[in-house]
Amino acid sequence: MMDAFRKTPAPIILVILSFIFPTELSLVVGDLRLSPHRVAFLVFLPFAFYRLLLRPDCRLKLYDLPFIALAFWQTAIFTYHAGTDGLAFGGSWALESLGGYALARAYIRDLDTLRAALRILFLSIVIAASIATLDTMTTSYFTHEFLRQALGGEPMPPVELRQGFARAAATFDHPIHYGTYCAAMFALVWLAEPQRTWRYFRAGVMGVAAFLAMSSAPLLSLG
């Protein structure tokens, strides 16, 4: 695992880890709430574009333009239809979609880096699943309740039971978000892992982690 941290660029590590930071640690600016991963994108997106504009090994290509254009278009169209609220929603959506694309495009440039980044991603899923296990065992949103008692904020909705199991959310705002995070990278982690033993181990962990959400969408994604 230390080799994965050594091979993965620092911005990628910090962005991955920011995904599992609870929203109680968000930065609030006026009426705008910047969750940890949005703060990470805001910090590192200029560096990513600097690399894309100036470095010959990852310079902007024609296929990058639709992603950039989509970010501006969706911000403009939401603003047109919903005014200030649309600007906040569309801008947040654009930041997340373009931020994820640009950082991966600028910093993950070879197979070794991709595999190392996926190991960091797998570690983040293990951490989230460990917290989700506490949710399941205590039938509560353990982390959220602890942080909201310490920092304040609106209480989480009651924990929902399915088939006798509590739907875990871990550090995410909803069980669907948590389960989707665990399931979304399943295929990529599977295909990028060259060692069969580790491939099956990681697949099993990600499957169990997604199951703790008791949500049909992540389970369908795994299927």
The per-residue pLDDT for 134 is: 92
Note the pLDDT tens digit of each residue in 27-79.
887 777 889 999 999 999 999 999 999 998 888 999 999 999 999 999 999 99
Mean pLDDT of 89-96: 92
152 pLDDT higher than 80:
no
Candidates 119, 128, 100; CA nearest to 20 is: 128
The per-residue pLDDT for 32 is: 75
160 pLDDT higher than 80:
yes
Predicted structure pTM score: 0.90
11 pLDDT higher than 90:
yes
Mean pLDDT of 86-92: 90
Identify the band that residue 167 occupies on the pLDDT scale cut at 50, 70 and 90. Answer: very high
Identify the band that residue 155 occupies on the pLDDT scale cut at 50, 70 and 90. Answer: confident
DSSP-assigned letters across all residues of 106-145: HH--SHHHHHHHHHHHHHHHHHHHHHHHHHHHHTS-HHHH
Cα–Cα dist 107/10, whole Å: 9
13 pLDDT higher than 90:
yes
